[in-house]
């Protein structure tokens, strides 16, 4: 089984389900609790490249912080959105599983198994 890096929030049911699926599959898992150790801008840019997403597509747009910080403004640059996720990691969609150069968002949780 491959080594999997998982950006994980233990309070999120989808994140817990994805972790359980990877454990059941016998994967070696490096867990990053991204709320405790948020990714920096360079890491987020790498993740976005691996996920083939724009910064806004990686954001949890229904979080109160999204609206409160004015992040729904379409004029904001990618760098501004990335800076917002670095400052407020709660805005990052989860869970994110990475194997080698491939990454997926585990929504639904079973999607993480596509990397195996």
DSSP state of 73: -
DSSP alpha helix (H) spans, the chain? 13-24, 41-51, 64-68, 78-87
pLDDT band at 113 (very low <50, low <70, confident <90, very high): very high
Task: For residue 27, indicate whether it is catalytic.
Answer: no
Phi, psi of 99 (to 5 degrees): -130, 120
Q: Does the global pTM surpass 0.85? A: yes
Q: What is the pLDDT of residues 26-68, one digit of tens each?
A: 999 999 999 999 999 999 999 999 999 999 999 999 999 999 9
**Mean pLDDT (whole number) for 77-87:** 98
Which residue is catalytic, options 5, 12, 31, 83?
12
Name the band, by pLDDT with cuts 50, 70 and 90, for residue 8.
very high
The domain spans of the chain are 3-115
Domain 3-115 - what CATH class? alpha beta
Residue 64 CA to residue 116 CA, distance in Å, equals: 34
CB 103 within 8 A of CB 10: no
Average pLDDT estimate for 100-116: 97
């Amino acid at each position: 089984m491959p080594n999997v890096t998982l950006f994980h929030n233990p309070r999120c049911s989808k994140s817990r389900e994805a972790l359980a699926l990877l454990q059941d599959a016998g994967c070696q898992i490096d867990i990053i609790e991204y709320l405790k150790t948020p990714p920096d801008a360079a890491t987020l840019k790498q993740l976005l490249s691996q996920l083939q997403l724009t910064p806004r597509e990686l954001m949890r747009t229904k979080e109160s912080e999204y609206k409160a910080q004015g992040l729904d403004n379409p004029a904001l640059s990618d760098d501004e959105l990335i800076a917002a996720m670095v400052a407020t990691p709660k805005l990052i969609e989860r869970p994110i599983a990475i194997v080698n150069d491939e990454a997926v968002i585990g929504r639904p949780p079973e999607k993480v198994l596509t990397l195996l």
